[in-house]
């Protein structure tokens, strides 16, 4: 599910940068509702509900590794981008959405104008022979 916002504007919307917002794990694009009025003054805004969250589709999720999970979400964002036809946009992600946004921008950097990460959150992988507390200090 994508929320595309088109408020009435006096200026030409084609002159505005496009901002794509991705929410955190288990959330919805509507988490950004309190800042939308201000954002709409400066940007053409898209809010994405990641697959399986918010009001998006609930496809089968038969994932066995963290790499498959990352690919699942990054690929879904790229498929969405292709369908909408966006290039040269600002990508902003919060929490898990920040993690996915960072992964997306590393793979599809040619479409990203700027990357904004709001409290990005990732996964710590335990290395053989190290305790989790040791990894946090890295």
CATH of the domain at 86: 3.40.50.1820
pTM of the model: 0.79
Domain extent at residue 87: 2-136
Nearest CA to 51 out of 30, 23, 31 is that of: 23
* pLDDT computed for residue 102 by the predictor: 94
Digit-by-digit pLDDT tens for the chain (138 residues) are 555 554 554 456 668 999 999 998 988 888 888 998 899 889 999 998 998 888 887 778 788 888 898 999 999 999 999 999 999 999 999 999 999 999 999 999 999 999 999 988 766 665 666 554 544 444
The radius of gyration computed from the CA coordinates of the chain, to the nearest angstrom, equals: 16
3-state secondary structure of 17: strand
Number of domain units in the chain: 1
* pLDDT computed for residue 135 by the predictor: 41
Contact 20, 91 (CB under 8 A): yes
Backbone phi and psi for residue 89, each to the nearest 5 degrees, phi listed first: -120, 165
Exposed, middle or buried, 72 (CB in 10 Å: 0-12/13-18/19+)? middle
């Amino acid at each position: 599910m994508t929320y595309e916002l088109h408020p009435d504007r006096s200026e030409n919307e084609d002159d505005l940068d496009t901002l794509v917002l991705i929410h955190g794990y288990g959330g919805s694009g509507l988490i950004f509702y309190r800042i939308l009025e201000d954002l709409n003054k400066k940007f053409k805004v898209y809010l994405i509900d990641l697959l399986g969250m918010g009001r998006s589709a609930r496809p089968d999720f038969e994932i066995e590794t963290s790499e498959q999970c990352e690919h699942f979400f990054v690929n879904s964002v790229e498929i969405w981008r292709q369908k909408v036809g966006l290039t040269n946009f600002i990508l902003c992600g919060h929490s898990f959405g920040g993690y996915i946004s960072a992964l997306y921008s590393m793979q599809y950097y040619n479409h990203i104008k700027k990357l904004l990460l709001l409290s990005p959150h990732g996964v710590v992988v335990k290395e053989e022979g190290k305790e989790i507390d040791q990894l946090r200090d890295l």
